[in-house]
Structure 1
Amino acid sequence: MKYTINQFRKEYSNEDICLDKIFDMRYSKIPCCPQCSQQTTFKRIPGRRAYQCSDKDCQYQLYPTAGTVFEKTRTSLVDWFYVIYLMTSTRNGVSAKEIERQLGVTYKTAWRMGHQVRKLMSNGSELLTGTVEVDEAYIGGNPKNKHANKQAEQLGRGIKKQPIVSIVQRGGEVRSFVVDNVGSGGIYKLITDNVEKGSKLITDGFTSYKWVGMQHEHIAVKHNNDRVTVGEKHTNTVEGFFSHLKRTISGTHIHVSRQHLQAYANECSFRYSNRVAGQMMFKMILGRCV
């Protein structure tokens, strides 16, 4: 089910509603006051992001935003929730400049908000299984446009761009990893750490995947000018994800530095993995916030 902007505005129309939501997610299941150990209720303290025990002899206070990405921020919680909505509902993400324009905040604030949310879009921990596709892509502009001191850099396969390896479970999750090179040693660790042994792995004919047949059922697709999909023998799924990733970076963000590329790759992987979740994607990130 899609989550529309009208639904979002109706559910989170002001600061109090957003703070109540955070409080409910964090403390609705506590059986009693942590201070007086009495079954009581907590009432909002006007003008502060805090709630107080209603027992007049206790008056213990809880701060729902403490220890979350909302801690010590002076930006409205409505704005924070809206940024989460944008980053989970748009197909290709949202840039810091767009957040700056829409919220009227500084670029520094907008950039920080985006990256705080991206930290919550991490990869899963369970091993991928079934039919899994693995491939590598290269992110970066035309080498001739780089500064002279960077034009000599040789990364994966002798290409002067940043390699990313993605692992996709068909019908399931995708995980992406920014790597220094695409040698067999690094790819071996990525696959063994993320794919269940004995799964069916589909790759291209790159030599770094030659060992895969020792631990998995391996299908190597030979890519040439006459590419033909034969049944399940293809890497179209992971290549489709790479198209999405590259559109996000070049179209939405224009440029992404090596330092932060993993965060953007995680963001794209999260949205791709949960693309049919609709409203649940927003709630998932909101739950991780607290």
Structure 2
Amino acid sequence: MEINLLDLGRRFRSEAGCIAYLRKEKESIGFTCRRCGSKKHYWNSRHISHDCKDCGHRLPLRVGTLLEGSKLPYRYWIFALYLMTMTKKGFSALELQRQLGHKRYEPIWAMMHKIRSLLGKAEQSKLIGDNVEMKNLVMTTIATTSKSQTSTNVLGEKQDSKKKREVRVIARVSEPHKPFKKQRRTTFKWVRFLVEKEEQQVVHLTFISPAARIAQRGILNARPFFLDTGFLRQFHPEDYERKLHWVVALSGNAKRIVNGIHHHVGEEYLQNYLDEFSYKTNHRNDGLESFSNVVKIAVSGNWWHNTRSLNGYTYSGPFPH
């Protein structure tokens, strides 16, 4: 099922429609009272909350969801979730600010980064199997520096210091088959990007199935945890484009979109932008289901308490603000 912008505008024409939709999604998941543990509740339309029938504890609709701590209208969140999951190329925060007609840039920017972190959470639990292609991608970001460390150019103008970051690109492809006319040997299925830490010399790719067959582009520090049982193959540089077609193509697409749409990407936010690109690519044919699944995760009530991945590395605990 597909839904375009006109359908979205008709369906969520007011705040009441957005509240009703999020309320329905949250009630379909269910919740337990934080105070007494009861599962009985009723809807309080005056305070836009679910109130416990036993102890009267009030749980506002935003609390425990992706919207917690935000004062932006519900319609902003619905439209942002739709545009960031259903569009092919994506939007910058400045463009979304213009489309929503909001005065300030910072709240829209923060909202989009919260959504990007959620998209990364939605993809991190998947286990990659079958055939895997890997390569390293170098991307230029803006280094995190203080005002005193900001450099100047020959004209005396202040400029941001740039920094190159290594990104691990992992693509799942189909089983190779005999080549036919106008048909590629493999088809693309799934992709993931991991921004590497500078101090981490060995990356343990624990989300790759032990039975996966890996083909990579000469990555010296890639040591899968299943190296004793997995199949690891490296290609000569002359065969990169031909043998590793998908991972090379996806790396180029990601680099063009991140650099072309989102200018001056900070090094601490690079993983979020790549998570958005990965989700769009992996769910490009899902239609409305892609949007609906993200909304369910956003209102699930425990999305930040699970084991999360920050800047490509797993840790447990709440997601830092």
Q: Which bin holds the TM-score, normalised by the shorter protein?
A: 0.7 to 0.9
**Structure 2 equivalent of residue 194 of structure 1:** 207
Shift of 1:11: 2.1
Matches within 5 A, 1:206-225: 206-208=219-221, 214-224=228-238
**Structure 1 equivalent of residue 105 of structure 2:** 107
Gaps of 5+ in 1: 154-159
Matches within 5 A, 1:238-277: 238-277=247-286
**Structure 1 equivalent of residue 314 of structure 2:** none
Letter paired with 1:116: K
Shift of 1:248: 1.8
Distance 1:9 1:77 in 2: 13
**Structure 2 equivalent of residue 50 of structure 1:** 49
Max Rg structure:
1
Residue-by-residue CA offset, 1:42-74 (whole Å, 9 max, x unaligned)? 3522xx423568x8x987754221122223433
1:84 to 81, 85, 101: 81
Distance 1:172 1:281 in 2: 16
Residue-by-residue CA offset, 1:22-52 (whole Å, 9 max, x unaligned)? 11122246599998x797853522xx42356
Shift of 1:270: 1.5
> What is the aligned residue count?
268
Shift in alpha-carbon separation, 1:39–1:180, aligned structure 2, 3 A: closer
* Conserved 8 A contact 2:133-2:172: yes
* Conserved 8 A contact 1:87-1:93: yes
Shift of 1:222: 1.9
Matches within 5 A, 1:6-17: 6-17=6-17
1:176 corresponds to 2:176: no
Please give the secondary structure, in 1, of the residue aligned with 2:256: helix
Residue-by-residue CA offset, 1:178-211 (whole Å, 9 max, x unaligned)? 113598x424x1x3x1211131111123444588
Letter paired with 2:215: I
1:65 to 62, 67, 71: 62
Matches within 5 A, 1:107-186: 107-122=105-120, 123-140=123-140, 147=151, 161-170=164-173, 171-180=188-197, 185-186=201-202
CA RMSD in angstroms comes to: 3.7
- TM-score, L = length of structure 2: 0.71
* Conserved 8 A contact 1:2-1:279: yes
- The percentage of aligned residue pairs carrying the same residue is 23
Shift of 1:121: 0.9
Please give the secondary structure, in 1, of the residue aligned with 2:124: coil
